Structure 1
Amino acid sequence: MFEQRTIRGEVVFDGRGLHSGKSARLRALPAPQNTGILFVRTDLEGHTIPARCRYLEATRLSTTLSHNGIQVGTVEHILAAIAGVGIDNVRLELDGPEVPILDGSALPFVEALLETGLHRQESRRQFLTVLKPVSVTEGDKRLVIFPSNDLRITYAIDFPHPTIGYQEREFQVSTQVFAEEIAPARTFCLYREVEEMRRQGLALGGDLDNAVVVGDDGVLAGSLRFRDEFVRHKILDLVGDLCLLGRPVRGHLVAFKGGHRLHAALVHRLLETPDAWTLSAGRESLPRQLVRSFDHLKACVLPGQALTA
């Protein structure tokens, strides 16, 4: 899978924005090679916003992009789906300020994109291959990316709630793994936080059909799709936020108590450290000795150990 890919035909998603509560239609369309991922606000004379780090506007409870004052909000789930199935070039036409939340996961996006089919293009993919560790920290929150010959994510969360608690999961991210193990995981929140979020103009479109809402005694409606659905959704968000690098990533990310802000901080830090990565055609592999030389540091990102151990 070293050639760039786009989708074969148009895919339409209708729903409402999680935070704005506004109705939204998203049309995914094929795009020429070397286009990348491009959002187009059709309600504002076709204003375009590339899915790149320089257009990152906000990371509070979601990822928002902005260009010349025009925003596109809650982009992380569609971006995760695009990256997860291996799409490089796509035009995303949106008739409002926020991507529809659908069921709160990336699964509806993945299923529709795979159903329409993918088209191989002539240009080669360029992978952003990590050569040395890059890290960001914020209090006890940590996120580090290490050299790897594929995309691997180890993620741990720790919530002071018995239904969530400490969860840890690792995936080597392939299309199949993403579609089956990561994409179905839904966004979540604590019920006691909902009123305050809505006072601040957030989660206005949220309900029990598009989010896992956790009350004092457990999940308020339905059942979890996975026992550790919460940490899987964090991995989903990270896959989406990594799209802002503009290239598929080859690296091993290890995160503890991360979120959109920490994900964005790592993307910025990585781009600001050009000697920590290289662009490659994907056929080249890093020496096994180099990749393994950082194994002792990976465990230090998770609780109970120091990064300098």
Structure 2
Amino acid sequence: MNSFYNQQTIAEKVTLSGTGVHSGKKTNLTIHPAEENHGIKFRRLDLPGTPDIPALFKLVVDTSLATVIGNHGAIVSTIEHLMASFAGLGIDNALVEVDDYEIPIMDGSAREFTRAISKVGLKEQDRPRHLFIVNQPIEITDGEKWVRVEPESCFRISCSIEFDHPLIGLQEIVFDRAENSFEKEICGARTFGFVKDLELLKKFSLGKGGSLDNAIVIDNDKILNEGGLRYPDEFVRHKLLDCLGDFSLLGMPIQGHIITHKSGHHLNHLFIKKFLDEKQAWETGPATR
């Protein structure tokens, strides 16, 4: 059962394997239950001392192609889809053990992580969940791109994107934790890219694990994936998925309405920095009934 008021962890450990989209390397991943107030932490089993890296904004070291966190010389890359699963399912506490630096891309969405976690179920814990309660609007802009948060009695997130491409154009979506199902509506939305971008990534020895199995690939006038899209607006649904993963690095959920337009990992992280700096605009407190 998904509790809003108390912290949650997973009921049993979950193990998955897959390929890193940039490294092309196979990574084995095990998600363990964790005690109250543990938060989400990653543990590098392949490094001496098996260092832990908490999934927190202050430890983000790169957002150019994916979200990368680092601590004491150890990094974990491409965490955003797994973090979106934790956020979407309402998981506060977990330990993620990995044997390489990049989280597997799986099918390019959060679906396989979400299904594996949902299969074992969640465990409600005894401590209350704490929130950032937004009292004043905060906004950051970069040309035509912007991220804003406004006071709201629940958690809501609105995303819009706009691409000068006939298959995308302007798309908008709203996700409300109380009214929408992350599992049915968001977690299966895959990352996407254009043929020209993939060729450029591979030229610089990036995107080694990228393929039609783990991304929507768009050409000038068609989608190259067999079977097409999972949702008519899969592109903006994936952007919302990324936002859930990015904002989860605050370490606590937000009670407020997040609104983004044409944003990406970099602007999301600049917004989080501004959010944490503007302490007069929010307070922290337990989720109340």
Shorter-chain TM-score bucket reads over 0.9
| Alignment equivalent of 2:252, drawn from 238, 247, 251 | 247
Separation in structure 1 between the aligned mates of residue 254 and residue 75 of structure 2, nearest angstrom: 25
Alpha-carbon offset, residue 173 of structure 1: 2.7
| Alignment equivalent of 1:230, drawn from 219, 228, 235 | 235
Alpha-carbon offset, residue 119 of structure 1: 1.0
Q: Corresponding residue for 1:75?
A: 79
Q: Corresponding residue for 2:173?
A: 169
Matches within 5 A, 1:140-219: 140-174=144-178, 177-219=181-223
Between stretches 162-171 and 203-212, larger displacement belongs to 162-171
Q: Corresponding residue for 2:17?
A: 14
Whether the aligned pair in 1 keeps the contact of 2:107 and 2:215 (CA below 8 Å) is yes
Per-residue CA deviation, residues 256-282 of structure 1 (Å, 9 max, x unaligned), is 110000111111111111111111211
Letter in 1 for 2:215: A
* 1:43 match: secondary structure: coil
Q: Corresponding residue for 2:116?
A: 112
Alpha-carbon offset, residue 16 of structure 1: 0.6
Separation in structure 2 between the aligned mates of residue 175 and residue 13 of structure 1, nearest angstrom: 30
Separation in structure 2 between the aligned mates of residue 256 and residue 225 of structure 1, nearest angstrom: 22
The reply to whether residue 135 of structure 1 matches residue 139 of structure 2 is yes
Q: Which runs of 5+ in 1 are unaligned?
A: 285-309
Give the TM-score taking structure 2 as reference length: 0.95
- Number of equivalenced pairs: 284
Separation in structure 1 between the aligned mates of residue 115 and residue 155 of structure 2, nearest angstrom: 21
Indicate the structure with greater helix content: 1
Q: Which runs of 5+ in 2 are unaligned?
A: none
Alpha-carbon offset, residue 163 of structure 1: 1.0
Whether the aligned pair in 1 keeps the contact of 2:128 and 2:287 (CA below 8 Å) is no
Alpha-carbon offset, residue 9 of structure 1: 0.9
Alpha-carbon offset, residue 69 of structure 1: 2.1
Per-residue CA deviation, residues 223-266 of structure 1 (Å, 9 max, x unaligned), is 10111100000000000011110001111111111000011111
Letter in 2 for 1:245: L
Separation in structure 2 between the aligned mates of residue 92 and residue 228 of structure 1, nearest angstrom: 31
| Alignment equivalent of 2:274, drawn from 252, 269, 273 | 269
Letter in 2 for 1:224: L
The reply to whether residue 41 of structure 1 matches residue 44 of structure 2 is yes
Alpha-carbon offset, residue 189 of structure 1: 0.3
Alpha-carbon offset, residue 202 of structure 1: 2.1
Letter in 1 for 2:132: L
Q: Corresponding residue for 2:66?
A: 62
Separation in structure 1 between the aligned mates of residue 71 and residue 58 of structure 2, nearest angstrom: 9
Whether the aligned pair in 2 keeps the contact of 1:86 and 1:175 (CA below 8 Å) is no
